[in-house]
Structure 1
Amino acid sequence: MKKIFTILPALAFMLASVNAFAQGVLKFESETHDFAKITEGVVATHEFKFKNTGNQPVIISNVQASCGCTTPAWSKDPVLPGKTGFIKAAYNSNGRPGAFNKTITVTSNGSEPTKVLTIKGDVITRAEAAKNYTPEQKAKSPKLVVTNNTHDFGKVETYRQATAKIKVKNTGKTDLVISDVKTNCNCVALQHIPEPIKPNKEATLELSYNPNLLGNRTEVVEIYSNDIVSEPAKVNLKAQVVKSLAPTSVVKEGTNSVPFK
């Protein structure tokens, strides 16, 4: 009996030791990526690849970027020992000229609960970038063409979202990537980033309009893409913005007519 009580603590210690070393390990090919110079308006993407060099599956529970300008994606299924996975970072350079240095924090059940990845680069203006493009690069560029550059909403209610569908076409030689839209009113947004548009193909952009000023409005929307030979395409959104679209009734009050809702 004494031997049994002597063996049990030793066995427990051995099991604890085994469990301590039974973990997944994220081994990245690189934890930093330098985009170097990118043209303003382009969404620059990089995929950080990793391998699970441990002996247990790795589950990534969350990936958090240091700013809203960077959108992450990652392997959602458990990564088994010996298998590979990815963390994808997309940096939206629209309206962000100059150098940048952003981090992506990866949370998992691996041996290191958090890993910090870094992307950096220098965003240059389209005019500056155009000086460095070769004739061959310009010839292979995608080309963004808007087939309906005006949309009239008619009457819309202030602060009530409306949606415009704008058709665009790629008349260039390589895939066209739409990255963002920009307006002076900051009241128009791209509802979702479409898939890359193949040469000679069309797509529909959905623009959400949140009117915040009354009256007859014309909002000029600039569409940014990886088209290096043209200025951002422009779309005009027109609307008559009113306080309310609710119908009103008129009732008699003495000899006067007054509105009644």
Structure 2
Amino acid sequence: MKKIFTILPALAFMLASVNTFAQGVLKFESENHDFTKVTEGTIATHEFKFKNTGDKPLVISNVQASCGCTTPDWTKEPVMPGKTGFVKAAYNSNGRPGVFNKSITVTSNGTEPTKVLTIKGDVLTRAEAAKNYTPEQKAKSPKLTLTGNSHDFGKVESYRQVIAKFKVKNTGKTDLVISDVKTNCNCVSLQHIPDAIKPNKEATLELSYNPNLLGNRTEVVEIFSNDIVSEPAKVNLKAEVVKTLAPTSIVKEGTTSVPFK
């Protein structure tokens, strides 16, 4: 009986040890990536590939970038032992010239609960980057062409979002990727980033305008893309911005109609 009681704790310890070591292992091919030179206005994207070298399914629960300028994506379904997955980092270089170094924290149920990946590079202004492009690169560049460059909303209510649509055509040789838009008022954004536009194909660009200043407004919107041979395309959004579009109620005061307040 004494031997049995002696064996039971040892058996329990062995089972606990097996359970502890039965775990997924997140093994990246590389945990760092250097984009070197990036042209301002483009989205620099890198895919970190990994393998589950453990003996249990691996699940990534969250991926968090160190700044809002980097958008992560990752394999959402469980990665079985011996199988591979990815963590993708997309850095928006618009308005961010200069050297950057960003981190992406990966949280999983693996043996290491967190892993930190890094991306870095040097964002060149379009003028600086143009000096480094070869004639061959320029010849193969996508080219952003707009079928119209102005939209008039008429009368709109302040802080009430409205949408303008423009047709964009790629008249270049390779896929056109639109990355961002910029205005002085910071009141215009992309409703959604369109998919890459193939050569000689068109797409609809939806601009969301949230007017924040009253009066007759003309907002100049710069559109950034991976077109390396042209300056950023520009469109004008026009509107008469008022406090409210609600009709004024009229009541009679004696024989005179006056606005109801």
TM-score tier, shorter chain, comes to over 0.9
Give, in whole Å, the separation in 1 of the partners of 2:7 and 2:215.
Answer: 86
Give the equivalent residue in structure 2 for 1:32: 32
How does 1:34-49 map onto structure 2 within 5 Å?
Answer: 34-49=34-49
Q: CA deviation at 1:255?
A: 4.5
* Aligned-partner SS, 1:3: helix
Residues 61-120 of structure 1 deviation map (CA, whole Å, 9 limit, x = unaligned): 000000000000000000111000000000000000000000000000000000000000
- 1:257 pairs with 2:257: yes
How does 1:103-182 map onto structure 2 within 5 Å?
Answer: 103-182=103-182
Give, in whole Å, the separation in 1 of the partners of 2:121 and 2:256.
Answer: 69
* Aligned-partner SS, 1:18: helix
Give, in whole Å, the separation in 2 of the partners of 1:24 and 1:32.
Answer: 21
Give the equivalent residue in structure 2 for 1:61: 61
Give me the TM-score of the superposition, normalised by structure 2: 0.98
| AA in 1 matched with 2:58 | V
Q: CA deviation at 1:3?
A: 2.7
How does 1:211-226 map onto structure 2 within 5 Å?
Answer: 211-226=211-226
Q: CA deviation at 1:258?
A: 1.7
Give the equivalent residue in structure 2 for 1:18: 18
Give, in whole Å, the separation in 1 of the partners of 2:21 and 2:232.
Answer: 55
Q: CA deviation at 1:254?
A: 3.2
| AA in 2 matched with 1:195 | D
| Aligned residues with identical type, % of pairs | 87
Give the equivalent residue in structure 2 for 1:207: 207
Which piece of structure 1 moves more, 17-26 or 92-101? 17-26
Equivalenced residue count is 261
How does 1:230-245 map onto structure 2 within 5 Å?
Answer: 230-245=230-245
Give, in whole Å, the separation in 1 of the partners of 2:258 and 2:186.
Answer: 38
Give, in whole Å, the separation in 1 of the partners of 2:104 and 2:5.
Answer: 50
Give, in whole Å, the separation in 1 of the partners of 2:11 and 2:2.
Answer: 15
Q: CA deviation at 1:250?
A: 1.5
Q: CA deviation at 1:6?
A: 1.7
Q: CA deviation at 1:248?
A: 1.3
What residue ranges of structure 1 are gaps of 5+ in the alignment? none
- 1:72 pairs with 2:92: no
Give, in whole Å, the separation in 1 of the partners of 2:193 and 2:103.
Answer: 22
| AA in 1 matched with 2:66 | S
What residue ranges of structure 2 are gaps of 5+ in the alignment? none
Give me the TM-score of the superposition, normalised by structure 1: 0.98
Give, in whole Å, the separation in 1 of the partners of 2:15 and 2:115.
Answer: 28
Give the equivalent residue in structure 2 for 1:52: 52
| AA in 1 matched with 2:147 | T
Give, in whole Å, the separation in 2 of the partners of 1:89 and 1:234.
Answer: 28
| AA in 1 matched with 2:237 | L
